[in-house]
């Protein structure tokens, strides 16, 4: 007959088993190598569960207090680096239970009354993810603040705007940066939405069907700060939608960071020359002494793939699972842990990059917008203001640009006679109308790049961020 696995630390289960696990299978099966990340949450969940068992009269209040004391001892041991369970513990839940029994004796065996590791692990992961979402929100706010500071400093700087990566129309640099703040704000709102569905308690669903033990799920849910409890015990232990939703939201965070990274990498190239990298975030080459490399945005761009991969991994892991709990779910941990860590690290790195890792080069930017045909639309708009139909003006200007390219002359350098030959509507004020600063200032439609419109955006974001508490 097998002995009690919990007290002996062997990997046999109950008296149903005669033999221990094959050592390779023990390793294969265990999650203790990574799920100690959930230790705090596991202890919090167990404390709430023990207190509830006491209040409901399942165990005595004195026993509940003793269990809680034991759990706090485990917490203290862990803080002192003295809680280092081995493979035989299998996972964090068993590791805590083993230790509790070692500390308290037989009373420790009462903790698991009315629950299963299935609802326990679901509770732990939700508590963990909830706190990580709050940290990511704080990291998004810091990133937005870094962008905002650059936008404030460049409310009057121009930068070429592109479509198809071809020069299109000049824009205000602040306008460009504010676009990324808009993306980050959507990320925050998506994460806040996901958080609502993360914050539902599965505890008390037990293995799958609920429990005959007279527990009170609302009590543990309330103590743990959950907004509600799962209505269906099968759904409670087998729902990982929240993990997918989180990874989808994190993937979009990474998409946004990666797009910005790509721009920074281009801007830092000699071909663009729109920014210089400071020594704080750039690295040199081991071979080429002249090099200064944008490693930070390159890594962010590269790391985005890990998060998208975790999203696919989670969807695929879940899609064929019958109700209710399946061990496949153990695979959600490393995906979530790595996805969260990657997203947080990348947000922090990009915030630092914009805080102190790069400097825009206003002269280069100014020269860039003054030396192209990105004011051609404004010539057409000038004629439109004189009553010429847009399509006709568009054709005229198209022809003009073609000649200018052939003659290697910019629109601003054409003499007035040439303008008037093209159309009698042109007057001397055409030069002012096509100056880059005027081109930008003219785009006053709501949300446009005109300086007064950008100032309104800045004002809105400033106010929003001023009233946002930085959580992480």
Residues that bind ligand ARG (CB under 6 A): 31, 35, 91, 117-118, 121, 325, 327, 329-330, 333
C-alpha dihedral sign at 58, 64, 70, 73: positive
Shortest separation between residue 318's beta carbon and ligand ARG, angstroms: 13
Shortest separation between residue 132's beta carbon and ligand ARG, angstroms: 17
258 in catalytic set: no
Shortest separation between residue 168's beta carbon and ligand ARG, angstroms: 51
Strand, helix or coil for residue 90: coil
Catalytic entry in 189, 269, 285, 371: 285
**Choice between 90 and 378, CB closer to ligand ARG:** 90
Shortest separation between residue 116's beta carbon and ligand ARG, angstroms: 7
Q: Please report the DSSP string for 264-330 in residue order.
A: HHHHHSTTT--EEE-TTT-B--SS-TT--B-HHHHHHHHHHHHHHHHHHHHHHHHHTPPSS--GGGG
Residue 84 CA neighbour count, 13 Å, CB half:
3
Shortest separation between residue 451's beta carbon and ligand ARG, angstroms: 55
Q: CB-based contacts of 443: which residues, under 8 Å, 6+ apart?
A: 169, 449, 450, 453
Count, residues in the chain: 472
**Choice between 37 and 187, CB closer to ligand ARG:** 37
Shortest separation between residue 43's beta carbon and ligand ARG, angstroms: 16
Shortest separation between residue 321's beta carbon and ligand ARG, angstroms: 12
**Choice between 172 and 317, CB closer to ligand ARG:** 317
**Choice between 134 and 331, CB closer to ligand ARG:** 331
**Choice between 283 and 326, CB closer to ligand ARG:** 326
C-alpha to C-alpha distance for 241 and 329, rounded to whole angstroms: 12
285 in catalytic set: yes
**Choice between 31 and 169, CB closer to ligand ARG:** 31
**β-strand partners of 201:** 229
Asked if 171 and 368 count as a contact pair (C-beta separation under 8 A), the reply is no
Strand, helix or coil for residue 162: strand
Q: Please report the DSSP string for 98-158 in residue order.
A: HHHHHHHGGGGGGTTTT--HHHHHHHHHHHHHHHHHHHHHHHHHHHHHHHHHHHHHTTT-E
Residue found by looking up tokens 């390219």 in the block: 405
Query: Kind and range of the H or E element at 167?
Result: strand 166-172
Q: Please report the DSSP string for 361-396 in residue order.
A: -HHHHHHHHHSSSTTHHHHHHHHHHTT--HHHHHHH
C-alpha to C-alpha distance for 346 and 187, rounded to whole angstroms: 14
- Give the Cβ contact number of residue 35 at 10 Å: 23
**Choice between 84 and 463, CB closer to ligand ARG:** 84
| Residues carrying an active site annotation | 164, 285
């Amino acid at each position: 007959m097998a002995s009690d696995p919990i007290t002996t630390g062997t990997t046999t289960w109950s008296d149903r088993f005669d033999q221990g696990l094959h050592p390779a299978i023990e390793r294969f099966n265990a999650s203790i190598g990574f799920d100690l990340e959930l230790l705090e949450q596991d202890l919090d969940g167990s404390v709430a569960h023990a207190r509830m068992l006491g209040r409901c009269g399942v165990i005595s209040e004195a026993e509940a207090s003793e269990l809680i004391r034991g759990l706090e001892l485990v917490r203290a041991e862990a803080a002192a680096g003295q809680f280092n369970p081995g493979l035989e513990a299998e996972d964090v839940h068993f590791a805590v239970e083993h230790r509790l029994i070692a500390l308290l004796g037989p009373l420790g065996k009462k903790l698991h009354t009315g629950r299963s590791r299935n609802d326990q692990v679901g509770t732990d992961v939700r508590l963990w993810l909830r706190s990580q979402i709050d940290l990511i929100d704080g990291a998004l706010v810091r990133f937005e603040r870094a962008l905002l500071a650059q936008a404030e400093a460049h409310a009057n700087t121009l930068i070429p705007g592109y479509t198809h990566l071809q020069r299109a129309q000049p824009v205000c640099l602040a306008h460009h940066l504010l676009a990324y703040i808009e993306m980050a704000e959507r990320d925050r709102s998506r994460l806040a939405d996901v958080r609502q569905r993360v914050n539902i308690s599965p505890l008390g669903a037990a293995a799958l069907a609920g429990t005959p033990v007279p527990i009170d799920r609302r009590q543990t849910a309330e103590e743990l700060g959950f907004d509600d409890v799962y209505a269906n015990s099968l759904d409670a232990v087998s729902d990982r939608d929240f993990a997918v939703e989180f990874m989808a939201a994190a993937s979009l965070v990474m998409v946004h960071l990666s797009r910005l990274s790509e721009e920074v990498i281009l801007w830092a190239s000699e071909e663009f020359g729109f920014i210089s990298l400071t020594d704080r975030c750039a690295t040199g080459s081991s071979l080429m002494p002249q090099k200064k490399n944008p490693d930070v945005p390159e890594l962010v761009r590269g790391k985005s793939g890990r998060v998208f991969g975790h999203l696919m991994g989670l969807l695929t892991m879940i899609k064929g699972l019958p109700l209710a709990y399946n061990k496949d779910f153990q695979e959600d941990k490393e995906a979530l842990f790595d996805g969260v860590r990657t997203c947080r690290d990348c947000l922090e790195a990009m915030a630092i990059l914009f805080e102190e890792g790069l400097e825009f080069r206003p002269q280069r930017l100014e020269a860039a917008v003054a030396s192209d045909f990105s004011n051609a639309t404004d010539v057409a708009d000038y004629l439109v203001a004189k009553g010429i139909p847009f399509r006709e003006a568009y054709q005229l200007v198209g022809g003009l640009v073609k000649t200018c390219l052939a003659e290697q002359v910019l629109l601003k350098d054409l003499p007035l006679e040439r303008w008037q030959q093209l159309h009698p509507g042109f007057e001397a004020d055409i030069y002012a109308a096509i100056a880059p600063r005027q081109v930008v200032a003219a785009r006053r439609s709501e949300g446009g790049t005109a300086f007064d419109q950008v100032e309104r955006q800045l004002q809105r974001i400033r106010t929003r961020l001023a009233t946002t508490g930085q959580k992480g």
